[in-house]
Chains A and B, each alone.
Chain A
Amino acid sequence: MAGDNVKHLTDAEFEEYVLKGDLPSLVDFWAPWCGPCKAIGPVIEELADEYAGKVQITKMNVDDNPTTPGKYSIRAIPTLILFKGGEIVDQVTGAVGKTQLVAMLNKVA
């Protein structure tokens, strides 16, 4: 079902799941009050289905999890960061389209 492949991350899970994970991860930093974040939600769900087994597609609510966004100096959302082997491969801010995110994901998939 749509959205089942999106992992909702907490600060506590971030290091183990993203930085030490076997697969690359895309983290969508978002908040419920952010219109553009809501707007890209369906795109993130589609990507999670399409990249299942290749890239971990995750979301982190910045209201509930302040530590990780602080660590990456995130002061604008939606910000999407692509990680591989614990390092940032690419990042983008704003309600970008699916084609741009696909191009980003294909760098690691």
Chain B
Amino acid sequence: MANTDYQLIILGGGPAGLTAGLYAARDRLKVLLVEKGVVGGQVLVTDWIDNYPGFPDGVTGNELIEKMAAQAERFGLEVKNDNVVKMELSEAVKKLTLESGDELTCQALIICTGARPNKLKIPGEDEFAGRGVSYCATCDGPFFRDQEIIVVGGGDTAIQEADFLTKFAAKVTVVHRRETLRATRILQEKAFANQRIEFIWNSNVVAIEGKKEVERVKLRNNEGEEQEISASGVFILIGTIPNNEMLLLEQLGADKFGFIKTDDEMRTKVPGVMAAGDIRSKTVRQIVNGAGEGAVAAIAAEHYLSGLN
């Protein structure tokens, strides 16, 4: 194969990227992980993780990521902080252009760019971001001590974080657009037993209002009836959207939501390009399968580089 800067480049340093990096570094590949922000991804905004095996007492998101990063570094994984602005994947030698102006070439690429919180796209949401509107309970919860706040959503993240937020808030109202929760049972049981959590079912938040900071939200139920409730915080935890801005979706193959499609070996339509973690088109988005997919993708990359497939 042609001479390239790296044999393998991994985009994104969440659980999938760090695990791919661990496997590739242990396989002695010349590998680079490019992270546009800081390693960790969405795990960093998770206050507490009780479902990652090997941690019988649970672990904070921050500690889990520190351990994953340390493990990859122990085997010499090189990490570069930069952002890909352009990629050319058609040839055997793949070219990446970075925000810093650097150009890098590689033979194999693993895309682990992940996902980010979905927005409600309602009036007041952007205006009050950081001033009452939040997507990260563990970052911002302590600012709402003894106050009344809203959590929007009904999945695992919304229900777990609603429970977490009662450590600070006087009252947490969960607003959910359906009449049942999608969250896993143990989280539901905990939330229903928590005296400080109330539920408003079959309703959507349609506006967030206030002067300098959030003061109230406007709700509309499925019958079209509106009500206002006062709240100083609104935590929007309604799923994720893919970080796919720099990706060549058509060439790689993506679903209608913009997540990358792969086969069971994490291979995309483009030879030598794999995808793993939350950027993949799939139904289950957990840390444990993100990490697992990272391992599979690294092995697929190694097979590709060895000319085995």
User: Would you call B93 an interface residue if the criterion is a C-beta within 8 Å of the partner chain's C-beta atoms?
Assistant: no
User: Would you call B35 an interface residue if the criterion is a C-beta within 8 Å of the partner chain's C-beta atoms?
Assistant: yes
A77 lies within 8 A of B81 (CB): no
In the complex, A99 Cα to B101 Cα: how many Å? 11
8 Å CB contact of B37 from A63, A93, A95? A95
Which of B131-139, B190-198, B219-227, B276-284 forms contacts with chain A? B131-139
Distance (whole angstroms) from the CB of B25 to the closest CB of chain A: 20
A35 lies within 8 A of B81 (CB): no
Which residue on chain B has the smallest CB distance to residue A36? B44
In the complex, A103 Cα to B97 Cα: how many Å? 17
Contacts of A75 in B (CB 8 A): 130-132, 134, 140, 143-144, 213, 233
Contacts of B38 in A (CB 8 A): 36, 39-40, 42-43, 95, 97
Which residue on chain B has the smallest CB distance to residue A78? B139
In the complex, A42 Cα to B81 Cα: how many Å? 11
A97 lies within 8 A of B81 (CB): yes
A36 lies within 8 A of B136 (CB): yes
Contacts of A94 in B (CB 8 A): 136
User: Would you call B142 an interface residue if the criterion is a C-beta within 8 Å of the partner chain's C-beta atoms?
Assistant: yes
B143 lies within 8 A of A35 (CB): no
Contacts of A43 in B (CB 8 A): 38, 81
B36 lies within 8 A of A76 (CB): no
Distance (whole angstroms) from the CB of B62 to the closest CB of chain A: 3
A99 lies within 8 A of B130 (CB): no
- For the complex, count residues of B whose C-beta is within 8 A of A: 33
8 Å CB contact of B138 from A34, A39, A63, A96? A34
B144 lies within 8 A of A35 (CB): no
A97 lies within 8 A of B83 (CB): yes
**Assuming the A-B contacts A35-B44, A40-B38, are A74 and B130 also in contact, with contact meaning beta carbons closer than 8 angstroms in the complex?**
yes
User: In residues 45-73 of chain A, which contact B (Cβ within 8 Å)?
Assistant: 63, 73
Contacts of B67 in A (CB 8 A): none
User: Would you call B92 an interface residue if the criterion is a C-beta within 8 Å of the partner chain's C-beta atoms?
Assistant: no
User: Would you call A23 an interface residue if the criterion is a C-beta within 8 Å of the partner chain's C-beta atoms?
Assistant: no
User: Would you call A98 an interface residue if the criterion is a C-beta within 8 Å of the partner chain's C-beta atoms?
Assistant: yes
Contacts of A42 in B (CB 8 A): 38
B140 lies within 8 A of A35 (CB): no
In the complex, A33 Cα to B83 Cα: how many Å? 27
8 Å CB contact of B83 from A34, A35, A77, A99? A99
A93 lies within 8 A of B129 (CB): yes
Q: Which of A33, A40, A43 has the most CB of B within 10 A?
A: A33
In the complex, A99 Cα to B84 Cα: how many Å? 11
B60 lies within 8 A of A35 (CB): yes
User: Would you call A8 an interface residue if the criterion is a C-beta within 8 Å of the partner chain's C-beta atoms?
Assistant: no
A95 lies within 8 A of B130 (CB): no
Scoring B residues 80 to 91 as 1 if CB is less than 8 Å from chain A, else 0, what string do you get? 011100000000
**Assuming the A-B contacts A36-B44, A36-B45, A39-B62, are A77 and B37 also in contact, with contact meaning beta carbons closer than 8 angstroms in the complex?**
no
13 contacts between A and B (CB under 8 A): A34-B139, A35-B61, A35-B65, A36-B38, A36-B139, A75-B130, A75-B144, A75-B213, A76-B140, A93-B130, A97-B35, A99-B36, A99-B81
Identify the B interface with A (CB < 8 A).
Answer: 35-40, 44-46, 60-62, 65, 81-83, 99-100, 129-132, 134, 136, 138-140, 142-144, 212-213, 233
Beyond A39-B62, A74-B131, 13 additional contacts (C-beta under 8 Å) are A34-B139, A36-B45, A40-B38, A74-B143, A75-B130, A75-B132, A75-B233, A76-B140, A77-B139, A93-B129, A95-B37, A95-B44, A99-B99
